[in-house]
């Protein structure tokens, strides 16, 4: 067989193999979905809803792996180091990709450079609630009370994002600026 024929055959084999590889549909196997919070958390619930939808659409769901610890940092590190083949995703939150950058000296990942956003799945508006017998009924009355009684207020939080937001707003109120919450 002439030399050019063997080269042409090699190129044809490469093209056929590339064509076959391209013909595979995605996802061709289950996707690993890392959830940085425990089973039963809101983030876990969202992952399980998405997994159920995947099952209907693709015939298989997500393999959900709850990887808790360090307010999502452990899961974020594992996701950032996973093979970038599209078969590992993470259900991130404001804790893992915003608050932790200001709470930990060494995250072990870059919240922007190491991840590609896929979809916004939910928004969680925040609400300020107080006991009915509190001495204020409006935000303006609350701010006035906070300025004159800085040691009499506290707040509860459910995650790092709420902790950071609440602490920033508390400092804002106590320092005299207007209280405001920005949800990104």
What's the whole-number mean pLDDT along residues 66-76? 94
Mean pLDDT across the chain: 78
Mean pLDDT within 75-94 = 94
Q: Over 80: is that where the pLDDT of 118 sits?
A: yes
Location of each CATH 3.40.190.150 domain in the chain:
25-103
Residue 46 has pLDDT above 80, yes or no: yes
Q: How confident is the model at residue 154 (pLDDT cuts 50, 70, 90)?
A: confident
Please give the pLDDT value at position 172: 44
pLDDT at 90 over 70: yes
Q: Which CATH superfamily is domain 25-103 in?
A: Bordetella uptake gene, domain 1 (3.40.190.150)
What pLDDT, on the 0 to 100 scale, is given for residue 176?
Answer: 38
Q: What is the pLDDT of residue 44?
A: 94
Region 113-126 average pLDDT: 87
Whether pTM > 0.95 for this model: the answer is no
Give the mean model confidence (pLDDT) for residues 68-76.
93
Residues with Cβ < 8 Å from 177, sequence gap 6 or more?
A: none
């Amino acid at each position: 067989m002439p030399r050019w024929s063997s080269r042409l055959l090699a190129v044809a084999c490469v093209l056929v193999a590339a064509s076959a590889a391209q013909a595979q549909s995605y996802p061709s196997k289950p996707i690993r979905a890392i959830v940085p919070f425990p089973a039963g958390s809101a983030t876990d619930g969202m992952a399980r809803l998405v997994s159920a939808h995947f099952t209907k659409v693709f015939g298989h769901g997500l393999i959900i792996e709850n990887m808790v610890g360090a307010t999502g940092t452990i899961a974020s590190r594992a996701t950032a180091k996973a093979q970038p083949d599209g078969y590992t995703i993470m259900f991130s939150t404001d804790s893992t990709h915003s608050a932790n950058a200001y709470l930990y000296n060494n995250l072990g990942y870059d919240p922007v450079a190491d991840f590609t956003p896929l979809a916004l799945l939910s928004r969680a508006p925040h609400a300020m609630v107080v006991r009915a017998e509190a001495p204020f009924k409006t935000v303006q009355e609350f701010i006035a009370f906070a300025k004159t009684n800085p040691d009499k207020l506290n707040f509860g939080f459910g995650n790092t994002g709420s902790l950071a937001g609440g602490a920033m707003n508390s400092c804002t109120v106590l320092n005299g600026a207007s209280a405001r919450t920005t949800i990104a």
